[in-house]
């Protein structure tokens, strides 16, 4: 076992738990915000399990997923704006619960949680199908085009899944206002995809042909 990789993963994991907890519960000014605990559970428990599996089965993939330093200048802007969007959505969710502005009923929260977990399963399948997946836009050594499974349906199944995950989060937090804020992620991911496809078409052999074969980016029959 790579102890250095394990340490890096654990530090980032617990830092994520602390930061998200602060963003949710500080604005709510209460630990009784059960929807916040629900989101923390369905987000971080599967993440911990997935991390252990990658550490044991594919440490190189885990190492790629931990690397969030973008090389493309355009993507640095997208990442920064996405971070600001997420902070705003979580803070507003906590305030929404605290002051009771516009709170979803419990059944809607549980439906959103179910959608979130289903999307997490698809997330795991994408990682299984494509071991080249990193968090940054790059063409890796010996990388090849993946065109089977979910990649035979849409060109960017990871973005498809993460978009659903991100849009489900504010609903799990019972905050329609945060959901509206999070819709701003859609044009950001569209910009990211446009830049990524340019990089891949220039640097990855066979990607231009793959674009012609699989016509849809993240939403079958629509986009």
Task: Write out pLDDT tens, residues 72-99.
Answer: 666 677 778 888 999 999 999 999 999 9
pTM for the model? 0.90
Nearest to 75 by CA among 197, 195, 217: 195
How would you classify residue 199: left for phi > 0, otherwise alpha for psi between -120 and 50, otherwise beta?
alpha
Q: How much is the pLDDT for 70?
A: 60
Query: Domains along the chain?
Result: 3-213 (1.20.120.1630)
pLDDT over threshold 60, residue 136: no
pLDDT band at 137 (very low <50, low <70, confident <90, very high): low
pLDDT band at 134 (very low <50, low <70, confident <90, very high): low
Residue of higher predicted confidence among 128 and 177 = 177
Q: How much is the pLDDT for 50?
A: 86
Q: How much is the pLDDT for 207?
A: 84
pLDDT over threshold 70, residue 71: no
């Amino acid at each position: 076992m790579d102890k250095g990789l394990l340490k890096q993963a654990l530090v980032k994991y617990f830092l994520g738990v602390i930061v998200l907890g602060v963003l949710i519960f500080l604005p709510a000014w209460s630990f009784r915000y059960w929807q916040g605990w629900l989101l923390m559970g369905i987000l971080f428990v599967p993440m911990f399990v997935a991390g252990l599996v990658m550490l044991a089965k594919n440490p190189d993939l885990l190492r790629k997923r931990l690397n969030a330093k973008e090389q493309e200048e355009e993507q640095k802007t997208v990442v920064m704006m996405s971070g600001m969007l997420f902070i705003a959505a979580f803070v507003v969710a906590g305030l929404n619960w605290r002051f009771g502005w516009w709170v979803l009923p419990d059944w809607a929260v549980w439906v959103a949680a179910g959608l979130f977990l289903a999307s997490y399963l698809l997330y795991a399948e994408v990682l299984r199908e494509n071991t080249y997946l990193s968090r940054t836009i790059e063409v890796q050594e010996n990388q090849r085009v993946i065109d089977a499974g979910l990649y035979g349906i849409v060109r960017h199944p990871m973005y498809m899944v993460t978009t659903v995950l991100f849009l489900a989060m504010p609903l799990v937090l019972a905050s329609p206002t945060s959901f509206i804020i999070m819709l701003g992620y859609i044009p950001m991911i569209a910009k990211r995809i446009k830049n990524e496809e340019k990089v891949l078409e220039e640097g990855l052999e066979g990607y231009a042909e793959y674009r012609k074969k699989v016509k849809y980016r993240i939403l079958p029959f629509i986009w």
